[in-house]
Amino acid sequence: MSASAVDILARLIAFDTTSRNSNLALIAWVEEFLRARGVASQRVANADGSKANLYAVVGPAVPGGVVLSGHTDVVPVDGQPWSSDPWVLSERGDKLYGRGTADMKSFIALALAHVDEALAAPLKRPMILAFSYDEEVGCLGAPTMIAEIVRDLPRPAAVIVGEPTLMKVVSAHKSVRSFVVEVTGREAHSSLPEQGVSAVMEALKLMNLVVELGREAKLVSHAHFTPATMTIGRVEGGTAANIIARQCSFVWDLRCPEMEQGDAIEARFRAAADALDAEIKARVPEGGVSVTRRSKTPGLAIAPESEAETLARALTGDNETRVVSYAAEAGLFQQAGLPAVICGPGSIEQAHQPDEWIERSQIEEGAAFMRRLVQRLSA
């Protein structure tokens, strides 16, 4: 099975599913893979049909199944010093290299590689595949698929989200939300700043607020997590050194242990943005500030007695309690009433890096996990 998983992984890596691109070619390949085995699948497309989630039930359509959840998109390779083609799976020593090997096409490959074994087994409960789009840009795709699974399928008992955890059980993750802030001023010659409003200089006030809020957040401790974090990931603005900038925009990211803390921080930022908007408009009516929430993903709360925790610990033998600072789709499943944990092959330390890799031993360990899952679903 592990060799089959590597073959499938090579096919999946060959699809450049960077989040800015469509994932439909990969989805079509998975559909055909399942169709050839008599397994029907369901697409859940985005608004313009350029991307799609996919889910499929392997086994009897009865309650109590286990969802294997993975995202098909990957982060960009732009500007990264890769020593091999990121879209061709290559093996050097005991490591497999390629974009998505760790995050997280290996888990998808393992799930697909065990479809035949699941079909041959006397399953009493189903294995449910759930593959999403746009996880890397804010978990944007999964909510519509999760809604369909909850609405249309017999209720699953547990969800395993296969983010890279070295096949250890992760019980909780932070929430995340991100914002696009656009500031509009008025252009003027830089020798006459009183005739214009610099969008860049006004935007700095809000960027400094993000820094200040981040300092304050470091003072708030949490039982399991590190403190909340705020980062500004992208800034654009201005046209020349001698022109007062008309436009400036920035994107910032907020990760909190609890949604309530995130709500409070967002409210403070929006209040400051509203005040700055009014101030700018008083000087130049065409100017102002807009704040657009780009994403809002709930955290995964620790639920030690949940079916997902019990299952994952039985399959791995891992009894430690772990939490992670990154966000994932597990919180979305939990919010929809489906118990979830994170457990998958590879290490998050290799994710998003040049020469991303996964150890072959992790594929082997993931294959053993899948075999034990099929046996459990057949018991």
Distance of CA 252 to the CA centre of its chain: 16
Q: Which residues are catalytic?
A: 73, 135
List, for residues 99-138, the tens digit of each pLDDT value. 999 999 999 999 999 999 999 999 999 999 999 999 999 9
Q: How confident is the model over 9-62, as pLDDT tens digits?
A: 999 999 999 999 999 999 999 999 999 999 999 999 999 999 999 999 999 999
Answer yes or no: do 338 and 233 share one domain. Answer: no
The single-letter DSSP state of residue 74 is B
Same domain, 160 and 194: no
> Both 162 and 50 in a single domain?
yes
Co-location of 100 and 152 in the same domain: yes
Q: Which of 297, 317, 351 is the last residue of a domain?
A: 297
Separation between Cα atoms, residue 207 and residue 231, nearest integer Å: 9
For residue 223, the model assigns a pLDDT of 87
Whether residues 276 and 223 fall in one domain:
yes
Shared domain for 179 and 288, answered yes or no, is yes
pLDDT tens digit sequence for 289-330: 999 999 999 999 999 999 999 999 999 999 999 999 999 999
Rounded mean pLDDT, 202-214: 98
Residue 75: both structure tokens together: 């982060």
Domain count, the chain: 2
Q: How far apart are CA 140 and CA 134, in angstroms?
A: 5
The answer to whether the CB of 37 falls within 8 A of the CB of 91 is no
CA atoms of 32 and 70, how far apart (whole Å):
18
Query: 60 and 168 share a domain?
Result: yes
Does one domain contain both 259 and 342? no
- Name the H helices within the chain: 2-13, 24-35, 106-113, 115-120, 142-152, 199-217, 259-283, 307-316, 330-335, 360-378
Instruction: Check: CB of residue 37 under 8 Å from CB of residue 102.
Output: no
230, 263, 297 — which closes off a domain?
297
Q: pTM of the prediction? A: 0.91
Percent share of the chain, pLDDT over 90? 98
CATH of the domain at 94: 3.40.630.10
- Domain enclosing residue 220, as ranges: 175-297
Specify whether 20 is located in the same domain as 166.
Answer: yes
> Within this chain, do residues 63 and 123 fall inside the same structural domain, yes or no?
yes
Same domain as 114, residue 71: yes
pLDDT band (50, 70, 90) for residue 3: low
Distance CA 287, CA 171 (A): 46
